[in-house]
Structure 1
Amino acid sequence: MDPLLQKDNVTSYLLQLQEHENKRIALEMHEGAAQNLYSVYTGLQFIEQSLQNESLKKFMNEMIRSMETGIGDIRRLSAELYPISLSTLGLMPAIKQYAVYYTSTFGIVINVKETGDSYILEEGVNLAVFRVCQEALANAAKYADVEELDIVISWQEAAIQVVILDKGRGFLKEKVIAENRAPGLLAMKERIRLIGGECYISSKINEGTEVTVIVPRMK
């Protein structure tokens, strides 16, 4: 077997194992821990309504608010590990749902735009594209210093194209890669390459960063 092909097979297999474990943990968190906490949350609300002592009511209210925060944190972490909506609803709903979580966490508004008529993608393609979006958004939150950014999904006849664009600080890509400070950038390109697509990353200081993903449509 061609050594490069063998390496690709191993890399793809390891990614599948990692994603399978992420999905398992995410489901347990979403359907187990979060649901159990929600049951406790509703119980606390019921108890609060029957309390007469104002001090106890105030204390119970604080506990309820803490429970709300905990449930939200678990659901956000579950979505980070593996968005359940990606399997059930597809790429666009998963990205839109993640955009809501992202904005609530980082305060950065995501403008999600879509052109063309959508079509069904293979699960592996859905996941690879979503992970690239996730990584690009994480980088923007850490380094871009922006208040909003755009995600544009173009459903073309021959391919799907996804562009993540911010107008933030930008960076010198060659310098970052040369200094081995860009594992996330390399991982994005590798994920898309393994599904037969291309990932282009361009950035200019004080002008922003653009990540473009193009994946041919499977016939």
Structure 2
Amino acid sequence: MVNSVSQHQIRSYIIQAQEEEIKRISLELHEGVGQNLYSIYTGLQLVESGLGQHHLKNYLHEMTQLIEKTITEIRLLSVELHPPALTTLGLVPALKSYLKLYTSTFGVQVELETTGVEKQLPEQSSVAVFRVCQEALTNIAKHADTSDVKMSLLWNEAGLKISIVDFGGGFAADEIEMNTVSLGIAAMKERMLLTGGHCLISSKIGGGTSVEISLPI
């Protein structure tokens, strides 16, 4: 029992340490690289507007489009690492902010439905829930081959329940090997266990995948 508790505490400490480092990197990406790229982007737009040669205008236009795409990707990466809205505004605004960038980057539309009154969660719990949702949505974008996702949040007196359902190809649970997908699924379950919650993942070939998250409050 002592060993079990010790291992539990070690895993919790490692995750907290990782989150602090992730927060630092996210801030540097947003305020450093992202801001520099935005300055270059606006500068190129200004130069483009003053050019008279058609081929140079086309070239600069392609460059500005590439930088604009890079800025969007960096914003998504920054939010993925640590969404600023999570600690200031709460879980639902943070998820809405993430979904907006997620859709613009991957082209996957997520229908979000919330029921009940949002409650303030401890930071560790809100980060854990956000990370699990993030991992589920990333897996959908990379592996599900679908652009149709439904996500629902139910707040009640007992706690929070989240459902993420895609209508993609699905997978057979017994066929998953030790790769990034299986490790990601294991991390999702571990994060929820560490906060006293649960994560249930069900899928079948041709039937899509469902992720059910529950967290007592």
| SS of structure 1 residue aligned to 2:120 | coil
Q: Distance in 1 between matches of 2:53 and 2:29?
A: 35
TM-superposition CA deviations, 1:157-185 (whole Å, max 9, x none)? 11011111112222222443xx4352111
Counterpart of 1:108 in structure 2 is 108
TM-superposition CA deviations, 1:46-83 (whole Å, max 9, x none)? 23333333343333323322221221221122122222
2:178 aligned to which of 180, 188, 213: 180
Gaps of 5+ in 1: none
Describe the shift of the 1:180–1:58 C-alpha distance in structure 2 as closer, same or farther (beyond 3 A): closer
Counterpart of 2:21 in structure 1 is 21
Counterpart of 2:62 in structure 1 is 62
Q: Partner letter of residue 141 of structure 1? A: A
Q: Distance in 2 between matches of 1:167 and 1:67?
A: 33
Describe the shift of the 1:54–1:190 C-alpha distance in structure 2 as closer, same or farther (beyond 3 A): same
Q: Distance in 2 between matches of 1:72 and 1:168?
A: 25
Provide the aligned C-alpha RMSD in A: 1.8
Q: Distance in 1 between matches of 2:172 and 2:63?
A: 47
Q: Distance in 2 between matches of 1:173 and 1:199?
A: 15
Describe the shift of the 1:65–1:143 C-alpha distance in structure 2 as closer, same or farther (beyond 3 A): closer
Q: Give the TM-score, by structure 1 length.
A: 0.90
TM-superposition CA deviations, 1:122-149 (whole Å, max 9, x none)? 1111111111111111222233222211
Counterpart of 2:32 in structure 1 is 32
Q: Distance in 1 between matches of 2:104 and 2:97?
A: 11
Report percent identity of matched pairs.
47
Q: Partner letter of residue 113 of structure 1? A: E
Q: Distance in 2 between matches of 1:54 and 1:141?
A: 38
Counterpart of 2:153 in structure 1 is 153
Matched positions, count: 215
| 2:140 is aligned with 1:140 | yes
For 1:183-202, list aligned pairs within 5 A.
183-202=183-202
Gaps of 5+ in 2: none
Deviation (angstroms), 1:102: 2.0
TM-superposition CA deviations, 1:174-210 (whole Å, max 9, x none)? 443xx43521111111000000111111222222221
Q: Give the TM-score, by structure 2 length.
A: 0.91
